[in-house]
């Protein structure tokens, strides 16, 4: 009988299991508790949020690492919003062109 070699994450998993024994680890409300959820649905929302992040970083309320992470995620979200907006505009133009062709 051969003994299994431990995998890379086995030690971390065992330690986490030991430290969290008996604790409720379920995420209620979608994760970390906060009074209000951040809703970023437009480019204006993202601009305002990034201004808040910049002010919080300047006041040493958040770490540079967290500000960098939030900035990166906002840039990804910005691209998604732009692409989504462009997609809906193209779809609308295609539908109008199709109506125009059918009217002939």
Q: Domains in the chain: how many in total? A: 1
Residue 23 lies in a domain: no
Domain residues for the domain of 99 are 40-104
Cβ atoms 102, 63 nearer than 8 A = no
Note the pLDDT tens digit of each residue in 12-49: 555 555 555 655 544 444 444 667 888 999 999 999 99
Cα–Cα distance measured from residue 77 to residue 85, given in angstroms and rounded to the nearest whole number: 12
* Closest of 66, 74, 82 to residue 50, by C-alpha: 74
13 versus 89: which is more confidently predicted? 89
In a domain, residue 19? The reply is no
| Residue 87 counted as domain residue | yes
Rg value, the chain, Cα: 24
**Residue 61 and residue 64: Cα distance in Å, rounded?**
10
70 occurs within a structural domain? yes
Cα dihedral across residues 67, 69, 44, 33: positive or negative: negative
Considering the domain boundaries, does residue 1 fall inside one?
Answer: no
**Residues 43-71: what's their mean pLDDT?**
97
Q: Is residue 62 part of a domain?
A: yes
pTM of the model as a whole? 0.60
């Amino acid at each position: 009988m051969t003994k299994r070699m431990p995998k890379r994450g086995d030690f971390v998993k065992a330690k986490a299991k030991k430290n969290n024994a008996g604790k409720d680890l379920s995420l209620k409300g979608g994760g970390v508790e906060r009074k209000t959820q951040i809703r970023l649905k437009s480019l204006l929302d993202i601009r305002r949020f990034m201004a808040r992040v910049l002010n919080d970083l300047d006041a040493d309320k958040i770490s540079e690492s967290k500000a960098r992470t939030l900035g990166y995620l906002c840039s990804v979200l910005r691209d998604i919003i732009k692409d989504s907006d462009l997609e809906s505009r193209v779809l609308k133009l295609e539908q109008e062109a199709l109506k125009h062709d059918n009217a002939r």
